[in-house]
Amino acid sequence: MAATDGAAVINPARLSGSKRPMAPRIGTHSGTFHCDEALGCWLLKQTAQFRDADIVRTRDPELLKELDIIIDVGGVHPSGKIMLLKDYCPWKDHLYDLEKEGGFVGELLFCVYQDDRDKSYRVQAVSVGPGSFENRRSLPAAWRGVRDDSLAELAGIPGCVFVHAGGFIGGNKTEEGALEMAKRALEMD
């Protein structure tokens, strides 16, 4: 089992191979707290399978092999402003409560995830609050309404697909490209 770039990796042998049920264990990186792994752990604990799970914070590969699921080990953007989801989940439904409970309200600015419809990737601005259409930080004004090769050339990022005229969402053909769009959006006006 490998844990790379924020992927959730499940250890099926540990979940089904024991005669005596054990509390499942969620693995995430040790070190500085980031809101993306907190959200991932919280979302997992909302499921029946991981409701009673223990959270283990480590980067020890031998210990990670023994855990039931690993999330966000490797692939955290150092700014703590971008959440990368390997699989789309309804993150907006829970983010604001999690921020309040965790004491990091307003820190997350963008979420990158794969669009299930066409398998491209999205970078979405986080709104100031539930139901709000105002973004904490929008995608750069220069990119808004621009598409495809014109956007890729303007942004200097291969694979760009679009940025909505409102600046709340953009797309790229690859995860790396969408993540780069989010990173550059942190630096631009």
Please state, in angstroms and rounded to a whole number, the distance separating the CA atoms of residues 147 and 181. Answer: 13
Whole-Å CA distances, 149 to 65, 79, 133, 161, 173:
42, 28, 28, 8, 12
SS3 26: strand
Q: Are residues 181 and 94 part of one domain? A: yes
Q: Are residues 177 and 91 part of one domain? A: yes
How many contiguous H segments (helices) and E segments (strands) does the chain have?
6, 9
Report if residue 26 sits inside a domain.
yes
Q: Are residues 176 and 147 part of one domain? A: yes
Report if residue 76 sits inside a domain.
no
Q: Are residues 109 and 45 part of one domain? A: no
Number of domains in the chain: 2
Q: Are residues 140 and 94 part of one domain? A: yes
Q: Are residues 122 and 153 part of one domain? A: yes
Q: Are residues 60 and 25 part of one domain? A: yes
Least confident of 69-73, 84-88, 107-111, 153-157: 69-73
57-88 confidence digits (pLDDT tens) = 887 778 877 888 777 654 445 567 888 887 67
Q: Supply the angle between the helices 35-45 and 92-102 in degrees, to the nearest 10.
A: 110
Reply yes or no on whether the pLDDT at 5 is more than 50: no
Tokens of 175: 């995860």
Report if residue 135 sits inside a domain.
yes
Residues 6+ apart with CB under 8 A from 165: 144, 145
SS3 102: helix
Q: Are residues 118 and 63 part of one domain? A: no
32-61 confidence digits (pLDDT tens) = 666 777 888 888 888 788 889 898 888 777
